[in-house]
Structure 1
């Protein structure tokens, strides 16, 4: 007979197990699935292109963010990390998948870019790990990680932001957008409770603008911009798909 629930972490681990048949989990044992996903670098996946997100490009162009210490969370093949490095940021980038990190490192060598890549689970990083990496950060950028989290892991995500984002720093993300005016987006719109009944995340979760504001704006974060990603043509130097939200928040600076 097991009586193994004593802490919040014990509860989160138990809930992780409910999605054991689902590949889309933000846990260390998902690395093998993601390695398979990144194994074929020629696969026609939109975000495999070597282009930064168009919203990230505009943040810098408009002066909304200025170079400092940045963390690319769930960096994949490293396209946004390389862009930040080219702008003068000191960049760390982490991902669960060794295959993704290897690809990102190859791109960095080709571009002669200085980025520190690490294969890691962000939720398992200790304060010492963060200090070793270079945190806390002036910018945490997440392009497509958050929408693969199971609902209970939003708690872990917010706790990570609280530890890793510097006062006055910016947090930005892109994630699946829920359908508007009858047009369904690419992410699942199944309610949170039903996800647990089905033990599936359906390839990623869609969010409304209101749900993103509810999750993040009451955590010491002020919304700077929240909009759909612009649709970028193939010849563009930036990546853009309109089925994604882009959001930029700023953490309150500590009072003197």
Structure 2
């Protein structure tokens, strides 16, 4: 990289260098296919299931950001969506392709991949809260470019005030530390402010699910749904 930053993209890439790449962690995480946490493989998020079952989200084109081994992408495809799914982890994408070869799983950075919108739904289960603060700019740009008029952005992310969840440190402190502390926690008002160009449909605590439930939910997360 040139030592002289001269545009926003150059500044964002320079700031990326402050934080270690998450790819090695996630490749190692998904390499263990015997991991005793079934929601990472089989269970779709309870909020996503409820939005589809209640008719809030109707079939169309969907983009699954940070798809992992494909649990939410597979649910969307099974309910009639035409799905593109992206993850930074090559290990996760290889696993997802084995499980659902009919879905277009793509390995890479969603901010640099050539994704062909518009999408009626952008779904994000835990990607946003792992982004460094400067990449919120990239995220908002992605949503602006790819989300169709009338389309929905739905997500789960760490919520403030919960135990064993993401950090609530100010953005500036994260840069001083060079560490995202496992992810960032957001309050509902913060999400409304960040996604101010979208209309909030609901922001609520994720509903914790018992082990026998066919869906995943945990009380250290919140679910948010926005409409364009």
Q: Do these two structures clear the TM 0.5 threshold for a shared fold by scoring above it?
A: yes
Residues 77-156 of structure 1 mapped to structure 2, 5 A cutoff: 77-108=69-100, 114-125=102-113, 129-131=114-116, 135-156=117-138
Asked if 1:213 corresponds to 2:205, the answer is no
Does the 8 Å contact 1:177/1:185 carry over to 2?
no
Partner of 2:43: 51
Does the 8 Å contact 2:83/2:104 carry over to 1?
yes
Asked if 1:197 corresponds to 2:176, the answer is yes
Q: Which runs of 5+ in 1 are unaligned?
A: 252-256
Residue deviations 1:8-61 (CA, integer Å, cap 9, x gap):
111111111111xx3xx4xxxx43332112110222346424010000000011
TM superposition shift of 1:211: 0.6
Partner of 2:56: 64
Does the 8 Å contact 1:139/1:172 carry over to 2?
yes
Query: SS state of the match for residue 190, structure 1?
Result: coil
Does the 8 Å contact 1:72/1:140 carry over to 2?
yes
Partner of 1:254: none
Distance 2:158 2:48 in 1: 16
Partner of 2:165: 186
Structure label with greater radius of gyration: 1
Could you say what the CA RMSD is over the residues aligned between the two structures, in angstroms?
1.4
User: Number of paired residues?
Assistant: 227
Query: SS state of the match for residue 122, structure 1?
Result: coil
Q: TM-score, normalised by structure 2?
A: 0.95
Distance 2:223 2:190 in 1: 13
Distance 2:123 2:164 in 1: 22
Partner of 2:4: 4
TM superposition shift of 1:191: 1.1
Q: TM-score, normalised by structure 1?
A: 0.85
TM superposition shift of 1:230: 0.3
Poorly superposed stretches of 4+, deviation over 3 Å: 44-47
Does the 8 Å contact 1:18/1:196 carry over to 2?
yes
Q: Which runs of 5+ in 2 are unaligned?
A: none
1:162 to 144, 148, 151: 144
Residue deviations 1:156-208 (CA, integer Å, cap 9, x gap):
000011111111110000000111xxx53511111111101111000111111
Asked if 1:236 corresponds to 2:213, the answer is yes
